[in-house]
Structure 1
């Protein structure tokens, strides 16, 4: 019995923590991306929603000297004032937040107004109009 518990524990530890990603948008250009949101873990309070989004790129991206294929972002959406800000993000070497964690940043950014027609507007609508 002890061996079974040890094996199960090792299996659970070795599995990555996966979110329940739902596709919410896409950019079809040659170096485009697909955007996913974790609707299940979204938290709302006081006219605001905090939600994880994942940008999954078709081609390798570069930021601050780091090459990556996916970017997981924790956002704060102000549903009353059409605002959005980044709370944290992580860059991964492979698609769908797999591979090596290359960089992680955890400092809230300034609020910005959601621009109509942008991918951030799609995110905001998803967060603020979800059932």
Structure 2
């Protein structure tokens, strides 16, 4: 029951008309990566932010096909780690259309590798929190 409530809370609070800032455009994969900097949440030395990946061609996860992923991610700026708190797969670009799948339970903390989209997200989110 707690998972259902958490997923509903995430879905309802998800920034559907968010101010998505383009962070990176992969021209080979034809994928765009976005952050919503307007809705970041700071909790002690951790920062939570919405990310969005939008694909030009359908991606597959098992039998599911989707065109975008919207994730609520927590960044630990001091430890250079992150964990995905919740995410949803969508049938259309930019986190729109039918929700194909949602998961509302936090994943384990993971080290942020250099030269990845998540390292770019982390650098931007952590720099924004310092300037606030």
Question: Which bracket does the TM-score occupy, shorter chain normalised?
Answer: 0.7 to 0.9
The runs of 5 or more residues in structure 2 that have no matched partner are 1-14
Residue number in structure 2 paired with 1:39: 37
Following the alignment from structure 1 to structure 2, what is the Cα–Cα distance between the partners of residues 82 and 122?
Answer: 12
Residue number in structure 1 paired with 2:8: none
Residue number in structure 2 paired with 1:98: 96
Task: Mark the structure with the bigger radius of gyration.
Answer: 1
SS of the residue aligned with 2:120?
Answer: helix
Residue number in structure 2 paired with 1:24: 23
Instruction: Identify, as 1 or 2, the structure richer in helix.
Output: 2
SS of the residue aligned with 1:124?
Answer: helix
CA deviation after TM superposition for structure 1 residue 32, in Å? 3.2
Runs of 4+ in structure 1 off by over 2 angstroms are none
Q: Compute the TM-score of the two structures, normalised by the length of structure 2.
A: 0.83
Greater relative contact order structure (CA < 8 Å, 6+ sep): 2
* Preserved contact between residue 16 and residue 95 of structure 2 (Cα < 8 Å): no
The runs of 5 or more residues in structure 1 that have no matched partner are 1-15
